[in-house]
Chains A and B, each alone.
Chain A
Amino acid sequence: MNPNLSDPKVIAELGEKIYADRYRTEYEANYRGQFVVIDVETGKAYRGQSPEEAYAVARQDVSHGTFHLIKIGEPGAYRVSYSANARVDWVFR
């Protein structure tokens, strides 16, 4: 697999897949409600009580990673009340 890491949709889908394959079972049993960032280039996961803490832990290990943020046990890291389901794969094209 040679993912196009300039496409946000590809990064997000890859991050979700890595999380589901390697971490979901353990993390949802033990760390529900915490946040995890997945480095989609290495497959490593970094946890924190908040998104900022998870990112800080990740940046200590990888200075130039490509990260996908997940809230453990939830379908999304954030809930929004306003947003349309907009395309996000145009940003770098």
Chain B
Amino acid sequence: MPAWTGSFGKSGSPSLRITIAGVFRDSRQEFDAVLDTGFTGFIAMPVIQAFPLGLILFGTTTVVLADGSTSYRLTAFCTASVGEHEEPGVVILEPVSTQVLIGMDFLKRFKKGLVVSPGLGLVALVDEAAMTERLREPPEEPGATDEPASS
């Protein structure tokens, strides 16, 4: 299956190397972005790291935090890329965080499904089309494996 390979960072969180660009393509930068399935947006990043990229500031939005309370954030526009594939999207600018995050809308835009196995050290983002095809394959018949039957 066509897949992007990520890694487990120092924090133990699954992450993927992405490139973020703003208005000036020359000032684009690579980031090891943490895959956060609890985040419904595209990308969230520290505002201080957004300045050198020249992101287009759009305005504000309201976010719902883990405890159910709401808070305000600035928003900007960027282009994110992995390899040859790039997608534009809205970035949430975080005033105090230190980590770039990618959320569920990132997976949706790039049409990827997520496979994570800490035990195997595996982080893979698989094409949805290939994943769907694999899941539709019929299950193996009992006894169809190459292993000899135990007596």
Contacts and interface: CB of A to CB of B under 8 A. Distances in A.
Interface of A: 8-9, 11-13, 15-16, 37, 40, 50-52, 55, 65-70, 74-88, 90-91
A83 B74 CA distance: 14
B60 A55 contact: no
Contact of B95 (A50, A76, A87): A87
A51 B90 contact: yes
A16 to B, nearest CB: 7
Interface string B24-57: 0000000000001111110010010000000000
Interface size class for chain B?
35 or more
B70 interface: yes
Interface in B103-146: 103, 105
Contacts of A16: 62
A75 B66 contact: no
B68 to A, nearest CB: 8
A69 B91 CA distance: 12
B40 A69 contact: no
A40 B72 CA distance: 15
B47 A12 contact: no
Nearest to B92: A78
A77 B59 contact: no
B62 A79 contact: no
A85 B69 contact: yes
Contacts of B105: 50
A87 to B, nearest CB: 7
Nearest to A59: B58
Nearest to B108: A50
Nearest to A39: B59
